[in-house]
Amino acid sequence: MEPYTRIDIIGEDEVSTTVTSLLPHREYSVYVAAFNLYGDGEASQIKNFITPGMPPSEPRVSGITFLNKKPFYKPYKARITWRKPEETYEMPVKRYIMLYKSDIDAQYHKREVNGSADEMSLEVDDLCKDLKLLGREYEFKIAAVTDEGIGNNATERLSTPEGKPVQGPLNLRYEVNNRQYALWDEWIKRKLKNVFSDEEAL
């Protein structure tokens, strides 16, 4: 049992005080005694109380790893690993909530993981499903959940590879005998060959 902490309150008209630095979800006991120049008087009865609990602190992220064996195999997969929060205030972790999105997404995707092991991990297998998401930055937020509520987020970021070009250059132009022509695709190129003479065609 920890020793009592003494707080002196000066003034015979003072009948209350504020105690700070109390920890969440702890049982405390308190008593009051008057004192004067001749010493301490008789103490009151001991009163016990329990402080309210708090949601846990943020999980501790260990790392994020790509799982694709070869580049440009879509969709991209990644594994994020974390350890339980440093502070759970003596409450067991019931589950974890992870939110993630790219820097151009409007809304977060949500995943939940049950369990309270010292180290947890989750695989995300839907990164870069759209070509426009190549070369983007993803944001991951992970929070632990206890009976006291959802704790603080741990935030990590991951950039996806740029990817290789999916088509050739567009709006190509060429000039024959001071006349300019544009080539957008092979179909237009073949059509122009039929229209122009041999010395004008490519």
48-73 tens-digit pLDDT:
999 999 999 999 999 998 887 665 55
Return the minimum-mean-pLDDT range out of 7-11, 45-49, 175-179, 198-202. Answer: 198-202
Asked, for residue 110, whether it belongs to a domain, the answer is yes
**Which of 99 and 186 is assigned the larger pLDDT?**
99
CATH of the domain at 129: 2.60.40.10
Question: pTM here?
Answer: 0.65
**107 and 193 housed in the same domain:** no
Whether residues 154 and 179 share a domain: the answer is: no
Residue 27 domain-assigned (yes or no) = no
Average the pLDDT over 101-110 and give the result.
91
As a whole number of Å, the end-to-end CA separation of the chain is 94
pLDDT at 166 over 60: no
Regarding whether 130 and 103 lie in a shared domain, the answer is yes
* Pair (129, 183) in one structural domain: no
The answer to whether residue 16 sits within a structural domain is: no
State whether 153 and 174 are in the same domain.
no
Q: How far apart (Å, rounded) are the C-alpha atoms in residues 152 and 143?
A: 6
pLDDT at 41: 86
Residue 176 pLDDT greater than 80, yes or no? no
State the pLDDT confidence band at 177, using cuts at 50, 70 and 90. low
Could you tell me if residue 100 is inside a domain?
A: yes
CA distance 150 to 85: 12
- Of 4-18, 42-56, 166-180, 187-201, the one with minimum mean pLDDT is 187-201
22 occurs within a structural domain: no
- Domain-located, residue 1: no
Range of the domain at 155: 60-159
82 with 145, same domain: the answer is yes
**Number of domains composing the chain:** 2
Residues 128 and 66 in one domain: yes
Q: Is the pLDDT of residue 105 over 50?
A: yes
127 and 179 fall within a common domain: no
Whether residue 109 sits in one domain with residue 191: no
Residues 173 and 190 placed together within one structural domain of the fold: yes
DSSP-assigned states of every residue in 74-92 = SSEEEEEEEE--S--TT--
What is the CA angle 160-166-171, rounded to 5? Answer: 125
Reported in sequence order, the residue ranges of the chain that DSSP labels E, i.e. its strands, are 27-30, 33-36, 39-43, 47-50, 60-66, 76-83, 95-102, 109-114, 119-127, 137-146, 149-150, 154-159, 172-176, 179-183
142 pLDDT higher than 90: yes
Residue 198: band (very low, low, confident or very high) from pLDDT cuts 50, 70, 90? very low
Do both 155 and 172 map to the same domain? Answer: no
Question: Is the confidence at residue 194, as pLDDT, over 60?
Answer: no
Residue 65 lies in a domain: yes
Domain-located, residue 7: no
Is the domain of 88 the same as that of 175?
Answer: no
Give pLDDT, residue 202: 45
